């Protein structure tokens, strides 16, 4: 399927929306939401089929901050990617220009949101992607295991520009994301974060890295399934590799010249 970008720069004023995909993080989500609201941005909670305790916590947050927090409830669990795709669609429906993604488990620092927003204002067509600055709470197996994905992403983009594709703290320009998800199938679970970045990069969307503090996680809940998600991520890298092969001449030209080849179709 073609990767041609039909959407231009956002026509609407700079209007970001924070989207938080939530699945059974009832103990952490309140602090995350309060941290987000301190930034002054509106917040959309996407309840990804949570169990009753978390669903009730989300209802309470939406009722407690009716002017700032809205709740989108998915009837069954879709996975992190599925929740984000639903959040993108809702953000577009509401006329937002950008979506800031932050995890629900408290591992990201909401006080960094103004830094993401300021950089996005300077580069509104770019994805502002967090690079984790870990503390001692990070599991070493997870820390070192990330490098396998880093290497595959560098191969599949023929570039080192995406320094970390797995951090879920990032700010997207919504127009190219909407065009992409309308034309391509994106992984709906833990393969989502890396795949969407690679496919946006293939479409000439700049990726700008921003260091941000990351801890593991405040409520002790992780939904990463070591077996299933690693298999899913491996399959995703394989698909992307074969997609990279026919794009390789253009990606190499882009790396050499710093721009798409004049008159060439956009990969």
pLDDT tens sequence across 98-119:
999 999 999 999 999 999 999 9
The pLDDT, as a whole number, for residue 267 is 41
Tell me the pLDDT tens digit for each residue of 119-177: 999 999 999 999 988 776 666 556 556 667 788 788 888 888 888 888 899 999 999 99
DSSP 6-64: ---S-SS-S-EEEEEEESS-TTTHHHHHHHHHTTT--EEEEEES--HHHHHHHHHHHHH
Question: Mean pLDDT, to the nearest integer, of 70-75?
Answer: 96
Q: In the prediction, which pLDDT does 131 show?
A: 92
Q: How many CA atoms lie within 13 A of 65 on its CB side?
A: 20
Strand partners, 48: 74
pLDDT of residue 246: 64
pLDDT digits (tens, 9 = 90+) for 171-209: 999 999 999 999 988 877 778 898 999 999 989 999 999
User: Taking all residues of the chain, what is their mean pLDDT, rounded to a whole number?
Assistant: 83
Integer-rounded Cα radius of gyration of the chain: 18
Q: What is the pLDDT of residue 230?
A: 58
Q: Name the DSSP letter for residue 212.
A: E
pLDDT single digits (tens) 200-241: 998 999 999 999 998 876 555 555 555 565 566 667 767 777
User: Could you write out the DSSP letters of every residue in 181-192?
Assistant: HHHS---SSTTH
The two beta strands, 170-173 and 16-22, are unpaired
Question: Which H or E run contains 226?
Answer: helix 226-257
Query: Is the pLDDT higher at 140 or at 7?
Result: 140
């Amino acid at each position: 399927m073609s990767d041609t970008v039909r959407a231009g720069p956002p026509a609407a004023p700079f209007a970001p929306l924070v989207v938080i995909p939530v699945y059974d993080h009832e103990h952490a989500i309140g602090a995350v939401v309060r941290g987000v609201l301190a930034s002054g941005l509106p917040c959309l909670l996407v309840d990804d089929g949570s169990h009753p305790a978390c669903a009730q916590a989300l209802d309470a947050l939406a009722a407690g901050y009716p002017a700032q927090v809205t709740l989108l409830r998915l009837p069954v669990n879709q996975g992190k990617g599925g929740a984000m795709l639903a959040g993108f669609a809702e953000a577009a429906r509401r006329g937002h220009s950008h979506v800031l993604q932050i995890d629900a488990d408290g591992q990201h620092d909401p006080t960094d949101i103004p830094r993401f927003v300021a950089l996005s204002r300077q580069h509104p067509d770019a994805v502002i992607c967090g690079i984790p600055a870990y503390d001692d709470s990070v599991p070493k197996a997870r820390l070192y295991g990330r490098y396998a994905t880093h290497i595959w992403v560098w191969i599949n983009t023929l570039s080192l520009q995406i320094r970390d594709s797995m951090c879920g703290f990032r700010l997207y320009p919504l127009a190219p994301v909407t065009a992409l998800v309308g034309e391509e199938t994106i992984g709906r679970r833990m393969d989502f974060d890396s795949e969407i970045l690679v496919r946006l990069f293939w479409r000439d969307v700049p990726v700008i890295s921003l260091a941000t503090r990351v801890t593991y996680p405040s409520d002790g809940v992780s939904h990463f399934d070591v077996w299933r998600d690693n298999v899913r991520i491996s399959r995703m890298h394989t698909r992307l590799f074969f997609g990279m092969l026919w794009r390789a001449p253009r990606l190499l030209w882009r790396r050499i010249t710093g721009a798409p080849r004049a008159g060439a179709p956009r990969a």
